[in-house]
Amino acid sequence: MFPSSATAQTYHHAPYFAKLRSLGALCVRSFALAFALAFPSLIPQGICPHPRHPIPSLYLTVKFIHKASLILPQFDSQFEENLYQLRREKLQQIADIVRAQNPATTDIAAKYPNSFAFTHTIPQLRALGDPLDTETLAAQHVEASIAGRIMAIRVQGKAGFAQLQQGGQRLQLYVRKDDVGEPTFALYKLLDLGDHIGVRGYLMRTRTGELTLHVSSITFLTKSMLALPDKYHGLEDVELRYRQRYVDLIMNSGTREPVPTLAQTAAIVDAAVPAITAAAPTISVPPSDTPQNSVILSEAQSAQPKDLPQSSPTSTAETISTTESEPTPINVRETFVKRAAILRSIRNFFDTRGYLEVETPMLHTIAGGAAARPFTTHHNALDIPLNLRIAPELYLKRLVVGGFDRVYEINRNFRNEGVSTQHNPEFTMLEFYQAYANYHDLIDLTQELITFVANEVNGTTLTTFNGTEIDLSKWTKLSMREAIIKFWPQARLGSTPSYDMFLSQSTFEYWIENAQQFALQQHKEKRNHSPSLTIVQDIHEEVAEFLGDILFDLANGAPLGKLIAELFEALAEEHLIQPTIIYDFPLAVSPLSKIKPDEPDWVERFEFYIGGFEVGNAFSELNDPDDQLRRFESQLEDRKRGDDEAMAEVDEDYVRALGIGLPPTAGEGIGIDRLTMILTGSRSIRDVILFPLMRPHKPTPEALDEPHGESAE
């Protein structure tokens, strides 16, 4: 017969297929079914002709795989699938208990109730009970109904403790068999980490002072069919946190409070709330002749798929101690609560200043308003190609033309570019426009906005980012040219240039050539001093290569202003940790900005930097339709030269709107994700986006049989 232990085997005709010659395809299928019934551990994978005998009716091959090797797509491992099955059986046992207490309840309603009447959220109940001492709680007998997710649970004989989490906070529960009754206590012992329950009871304090709800009834709400990660250390794999943000929000709420150990439980229960009266019965330890049983409700501790884990005598308190030292937990929930607060405060700031919040299209026929590669799509009904929005700018300025003097939009943008700690293809921006203003007005407004938001969200203008304290109330202002000179690295590039460097292409080229020669000389001296020095080890050669690229681009017709902007990014940007305004940008990199009256190669534009990267970009808006058309056409030439971020088509309708008349206007865009990074101290943009874009992931074969979740305990 066939070896049932094989995970994948091919079985040939031999005597097993002798009677199939005249039965055809129908009999083949029947045989496969009969074989599966005879050998339930094997599942047919396919039926095909034998390679040496191509006649299907005479010689056939049936391929089977062992049932245990089938992993359903929602599971990461066989262990997880087995765990799911075990919890399914527990769910049925819970439903049986619920229906025994209320026969009118259907099976599905017992497994998945659709509501629970709570009187308080856990944060509300903690706010009510935290200020009250033991005697006051006993006297007031504060009753409450709450609901939440079980994050820790212990059972000792006829009593148990649990931690219920909801709204980002936890509250300890005390459950006693004599109070809830035998059926409900049996249900309690079937609960797992992650289950949702509703409880009713009254507040008390234990001897250690822990605010606790003494439970009088339990309502089962939802079974967590998959195990949560290690409850002591949360979800620490960074990539997994991004992929499974729903688990990340559960585990990394910043409230990992341990449930008492058995020894602590006995002490707490023995001495808890001695002043509670008959209306609030005194808690007592089960009689000494009652077996002291411990149940850690994690199937990872048991390989039995059918029955509940059997109680076992407790050895020492250390066996399940939860008092080990833990690192300070991260609080992912707080990050996104703050993000919502940032958006509220921004809206409040602009609403009180007479701005109108608007919504503009996300599908554009022409990708404009920024230098970026768009995502493309197609509209089937209209049969036209479309681009996902890279910026809402051109539509917002159309609204200013139409008479909305102050508008803003908090919008989603999509740019088909790289991914880094500061870039995500899908991101959120604030853009706002104000008629009869210029970029100087927005410089002042920007500082006021960032200070206001910081105080609203954090209660202070001080924040810490990448280990550095930043004061958002203290700003520095530098022109781009001043910043290049200020942060010019003399040790790498030689003497600091003068302001004349930016007057013409020839003077710029002169200073870059001198800097390149200085860097090469430094590299040569280092090589002579240390012959084993590699290129990777020598920053001077890297700098020389960068300057060589600038000279090459300059010789091949690249705009001088674009190369100046690249030099600024390379030399100055990383130093702009404290809030800094960088103003006056080259025309070549600012196709929508108004030219400075006294410097035609420079425009009225500024960016502000915090933490070493750009957070916002603003300028006095170009409102000359003829000049705008020329710049759009220049963008087309840039695209022909290989700049895939330049506009692919002239937006003639926008030029027409300018012809109707755009008043003097200033506009600005601010990255909400980056601003949130600064205000929450998050190092990666993915930390402040709920569901960042990730490459699809499939578990490796090596991981299929590894234990997951609670088994890490």
What is the per-residue pLDDT for 663? Answer: 97
* Per-block mean pLDDT, blocks of 10 residues, the chain (713 long): 40 42 46 47 44 42 44 76 94 97 95 96 96 95 97 94 96 96 96 97 94 97 90 69 91 64 48 39 36 34 32 32 47 95 98 98 89 90 94 96 98 90 92 98 98 98 96 97 95 90 93 90 74 55 87 91 94 96 95 92 97 96 94 84 78 95 97 96 94 78 48 30
What is the per-residue pLDDT for 62? Answer: 44
Helices then strands (H, E): number in the chain? 21, 24
Distances (CA, A) of 28 to 20, 104, 412: 7, 48, 56
**What CATH class is the domain 335-487+572-688?**
alpha beta
What is the per-residue pLDDT for 522? Answer: 82
pTM of the predicted protein model: 0.77
User: For residues 178 and 170, what is the distance between their CA atoms, to the nearest angstrom?
Assistant: 25
Which fold does the domain 78-301 belong to in CATH?
OB fold (Dihydrolipoamide Acetyltransferase, E2P) (2.40.50)
Reported in sequence order, the residue ranges of 244-305 that DSSP labels E, i.e. its strands, are: 293-295
At 537 the three-state DSSP class reads coil
Classify residue 690 by its DSSP letter. S
529: part of which helix (H) or strand (E)? helix 505-529
The number of angstroms, rounded, from the C-alpha of 254 to the middle of its chain's C-alpha atoms is 16
Amino acid identity of 395? Y
H-state helical runs in 22-77: 24-38
CB half-sphere exposure, 415, CA atoms < 13 A: 21
DSSP string, 322-375: --S--PPPPBHHHHHHHHHHHHHHHHHHHHTTT-EE----SEESS--SSS-PPP
Residues 6 or more apart whose CB falls under 8 angstroms from that of 290 comprise: 157, 158
Residues 6 or more apart whose CB falls under 8 angstroms from that of 678 comprise: 463, 465, 470, 472, 610, 611, 615
Nearest to 251 by CA among 695, 712, 694: 712
How many residues does this entry show for the chain? 713
The ranges assigned to domains in the chain are 8-69, 78-301, 335-487+572-688, 489-559
409: part of which helix (H) or strand (E)? strand 406-414
